[in-house]
Amino acid sequence: MSVTGAVNITPHPSPNFGPRREGAMPDMVVLHYTAMKSAAAALERLCSPDVEVSAHYLISETGEVFQLVEEDQRAWHAGAGCWGEVIDVNSRSIGIELANNGFAPFPEPQMVALERLLSGIMRRWAIPPQRIIGHSDMAPGRKIDPGARFDWYRLAMAGLAIWPDSAGKPCHYSGIVEMLNRFGMKADCDAETLLAAFRLRFRPWATGPVDDVDMVLAADISARYPVDQSDLTS
């Protein structure tokens, strides 16, 4: 599936940004939800110098796209966490906030705008689908956005994210942490927290101890999408 159509972007500069450190350029995108009542409230917060948080883009429920920080600058959206060996995720990423309270579905106009925006970002910075991640992927246990209602499968079908193959055979359960680490989920947390973050993205309604489905999905995704070797020197 290809993504077509232009995205209309409204500049709304935030003072909350700085230069990317050590000459870094973006090679990943982090998706968030705002957990606020409205896009207007989120816009006000992301542009407040008193709060010191921001993102590169905010997409409203109706699909309006606001640019708060230029893509070559370091927005303050990711916070503590890591992806692979990258610990300064802000310097290596573009942050996109989606206006959503964390419980509601993401409206069609918002998803269309996200797809078009992502397509352009990935093309401009040569970012592969496996480097489109959620806040919860890089900060398991601390963050849960973009949450259980976000349609990762839809993005994957458009070539804008990845999705694991469920056709494999399960392996020994003790290997789950190693496989998720290889994929990029290397935050300092216990196995249960790591599994919960993995499920939040790929099996959001799953509960209980690790099972065969978890192992099949984790084995596939870690084999096909191991963390980029470039991270090892970051």
Written in H, E and C, the secondary structure of 76-111 is CCCCCCCECCECCHHHHEEEEEECCCCCCCCCHHHH
Position 169 scores a pLDDT of 76
> What is this structure's pTM?
0.95
Per-residue pLDDT reduced to its tens digit, 138-157 = 999 999 999 999 999 999 99
Q: How far apart are CA 150 and CA 63, in angstroms?
A: 15
- Evaluate whether residue 1 is within a structural domain: no
Do 202 and 103 have their domain in common? no
| Final residue in a domain of this structure, among 104, 126, 157 | 157
Query: Considering 125, 157, 189, which residue would you say is the last residue of a domain?
Result: 157
- SS3 of the chain: helix, strand, coil, percent, to 5: 35, 15, 50
2 in a domain, yes or no?
no
Query: Is 181 found in the same domain as 152?
Result: no
Residue 234 is assigned to a structural domain of this protein: no
Q: How confident is the model at residue 210 (pLDDT cuts 50, 70, 90)?
A: very high
- Residue 231: what pLDDT? 58
- Candidate list 61, 70, 71, 97, residue with the active-site label: 97
Q: What is the mean pLDDT of the chain?
A: 94
Domain match, 149 and 178 both: no
87 lies in some domain: yes
**CATH number of the CATH domain containing 85:** 3.40.80.10
To the query of whether residue 44 is one of the catalytic residues in this protein, the response is no
152 plus 185 within the same structural domain = no
Q: What is the mean pLDDT of residues 205-213?
A: 94
pLDDT at residue 205 greater than cutoff 90: yes
Domains in the chain: how many in total? 2
pLDDT at residue 2 tops 80: no
User: Which tens digit of pLDDT belongs to each residue from 94-124?
Assistant: 999 999 999 999 999 999 999 999 999 999 9
Residues 7-19 have a mean pLDDT of 97
- Of 98, 133, 157, the residue that ends a domain is 157
For residue 162, is it within any domain?
no
The CA-atom distances, in angstroms, between 54 and each of 57, 201, 224 are 9, 23, 33
Confidence of residue 29 (pLDDT cuts 50, 70, 90): very high
Residues 118 and 13 in one domain: yes
Query: What pLDDT score was predicted for residue 232?
Result: 44
Domain range for 209: 173-226
pLDDT of residue 138: 98
> Each residue of 55-87: pLDDT tens digit?
999 999 999 999 999 999 999 999 999 999 999
